[in-house]
């Protein structure tokens, strides 16, 4: 599994904040070694202003990231029997069930619709197609009223790459899900 992770969108801002903080630190070091009235003004005025600006820029980056993360995870509701995604659809989201149950259905040309599994509260689905970079292998529909958290693929891949416990949990589930997908393909 080789998840694609896009470049961090605000890396330039972090570099600028880091450089500002380093320049502010430099004024403090210069003042520590050469304590003159001019250096005191430089340190207190310039260094403090640079450090304050760096902290503001870093705070802005954190705020934008947090806001983007919260906006990328949305709650979706589905009525009983409503399709969440269809077999063959492109993989755009991973879903976490917060209420209700869903069933995964494989459309077999010879046998018709075959229910291959059911999932309930606190379980997730949709990650295999994203990690494997393939279209959806099954249709997923609501059994009863379902509430889901939908996580966009780019945010999921960033979480997957940066959270080892999440990655380990998902990777532990993948052999079972891939085996199921291979069995379904081989029977049709």
The reply to whether 123 and 96 lie within a common domain is yes
The reply to whether 93 and 133 lie within a common domain is yes
Alpha helix stretches (DSSP H) within the chain:
11-33, 37-41, 48-72, 127-132, 153-162, 164-187
**How many other C-beta atoms can be found within 10 angstroms of the C-beta atom of residue 184?**
18
The reply to whether 98 and 57 lie within a common domain is no
What pLDDT, in 10s, does the model give residues 18-39? 999 998 888 888 878 888 887 7
The reply to whether 183 and 150 lie within a common domain is yes
Answer yes or no: is pLDDT of 188 > 70: no
| Nearest Cα residue to 129 out of 164, 85, 96, 167 | 85
The reply to whether 171 and 102 lie within a common domain is yes
Residue 4 within any structural domain of the chain: no
Answer yes or no: is pLDDT of 179 > 60: yes
Confidence of residue 103 (pLDDT cuts 50, 70, 90): very high
The reply to whether 173 and 144 lie within a common domain is yes
What are residue 136's phi and psi, to 5 degrees?
A: -60, 135
The reply to whether 17 and 90 lie within a common domain is no
Give me the number of domains the chain comprises: 2
Confidence of residue 187 (pLDDT cuts 50, 70, 90): low
Residue 146 within any structural domain of the chain: yes
What pLDDT, in 10s, does the model give residues 47-81? 888 889 999 999 999 888 878 777 778 899 999 99
Residue 154 within any structural domain of the chain: yes
The reply to whether 146 and 84 lie within a common domain is yes
Residue 35 within any structural domain of the chain: yes
The reply to whether 178 and 94 lie within a common domain is yes
Average confidence score pLDDT of the chain: 86
The reply to whether 87 and 43 lie within a common domain is no
Residue 6 within any structural domain of the chain: no
User: Of 34, 54, 72, which one is at a domain's C-terminal end?
Assistant: 72
**What is the share, in percent, of the chain residues with pLDDT greater than 70?**
91
> What is the domain range of residue 56?
11-72
141: CATH:
2.60.120.10
What pLDDT, in 10s, does the model give residues 122-157? 999 999 899 989 999 999 999 999 999 999 998 899
- Cβ atoms of 107 and 88 within 8 Å: the answer is no
The reply to whether 83 and 170 lie within a common domain is yes
């Amino acid at each position: 599994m080789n998840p694609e992770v896009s470049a961090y969108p605000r890396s330039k801002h972090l570099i600028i904040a880091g450089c500002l903080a380093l320049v502010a630190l430099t004024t403090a070091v210069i003042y520590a070694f050469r304590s003159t009235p001019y250096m005191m003004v430089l340190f207190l005025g310039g260094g403090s202003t640079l450090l304050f600006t760096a902290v503001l820029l870093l705070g802005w980056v954190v705020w934008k990231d947090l806001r983007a993360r919260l906006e990328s995870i949305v709650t979706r509701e589905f009525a009983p029997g409503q399709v969440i995604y269809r077999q063959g659809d492109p993989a755009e989201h991973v879903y976490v069930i917060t209420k209700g149950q869903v069933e995964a259905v494989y459309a077999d040309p010879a046998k018709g619709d075959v229910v291959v599994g059911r999932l309930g509260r606190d379980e997730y689905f949709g990650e295999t197609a994203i990690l494997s970079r393939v279209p959806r292998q099954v249709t997923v529909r609501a059994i009863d009223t379902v509430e889901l958290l939908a996580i966009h693929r780019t945010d999921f891949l960033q979480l997957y790459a940066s959270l080892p416990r999440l990655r380990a949990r998902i990777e532990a589930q993948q052999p079972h899900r891939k085996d199921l997908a291979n069995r379904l393909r081989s029977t049709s």
